[in-house]
Amino acid sequence: MPTVVCPLCGKRRARRGCPAVGQQICAVCCGTKRLVEINCPSDCVWLASAREHPPAAAVRQQQRDRSLLMPLMIDFSQPQAELFFLVSAFIVRYEPPELHPLFDEDVAEGVGALASTFETASRGVIYEHRAASIPGERLSMALKAALADMGRNLGSAFERDAAGVLRRMATLVADVRAVEPENRRAFIEMIRRFVTAFPPPDDQRTGSSEEPPPPSSLIVP
């Protein structure tokens, strides 16, 4: 019988049937890409086994994520906590243009610029602050549009909450990058794990009210 090579890495022998990809993949890709690049169904036996018996590396990663997230969110009010969840979900689902991939520094610039816009608006001044990078600016504009309906008729209270949450998120990007300086998507990967573990309710998600398209087998960053 010929050896089946993993279609994800193209290097190792494929030994595990992956219901998301529809093919066999190697154990390494199953363990490292699970819920990050692979959109695992909840009934996957490998996913269930990993949740019941997580490896030591996964436990350390969860502990590190909590150590970064909890101090940042501990004094959030209920509206601020909801905003943080929704902004996180938006960033995870955001799809940048093909030639302009999104990196952590773009997220920091995008949310930082939008925080400045909300801060000036809360003082009664309308001024659009701009991110330095093109991907950061596109993210900022898309996120502002997604938050527009939520903040309608709430005035300066919403603007202050949004500014505070976005400032905290920019700080979190810097904190995560300090832990993994060589990974330009360390924050995006961490926030994806966060959203996967605590998805917002369907009726509280930002973005279009239209029905979402069917999920693909892979999560494309």
Confidence check: pLDDT of 218 > 60 = no
The reply to whether the predicted model has a pTM over 0.85 is no
CA-CA distances (angstroms) from residue 115 to 136, 159, 170? 13, 9, 9
Confidence check: pLDDT of 17 > 60 = yes
Domain positions in the chain? 1-53, 56-204
CA-CA distances (angstroms) from residue 160 to 135, 157, 197? 25, 5, 27
Q: How confident is the model at residue 212 (pLDDT cuts 50, 70, 90)?
A: very low
Render pLDDT for 153-196 as a digit per residue (tens, 0 to 9): 777 889 999 999 999 999 999 999 999 999 999 999 999 988 88
Please tell me which residue, 13 or 59, carries the higher pLDDT value. 13
Q: What is the mean pLDDT of residues 96-106?
A: 88
Confidence check: pLDDT of 203 > 50 = no
Conformation bin of residue 185: beta by default, left when phi > 0, alpha when psi is -120 to 50: alpha
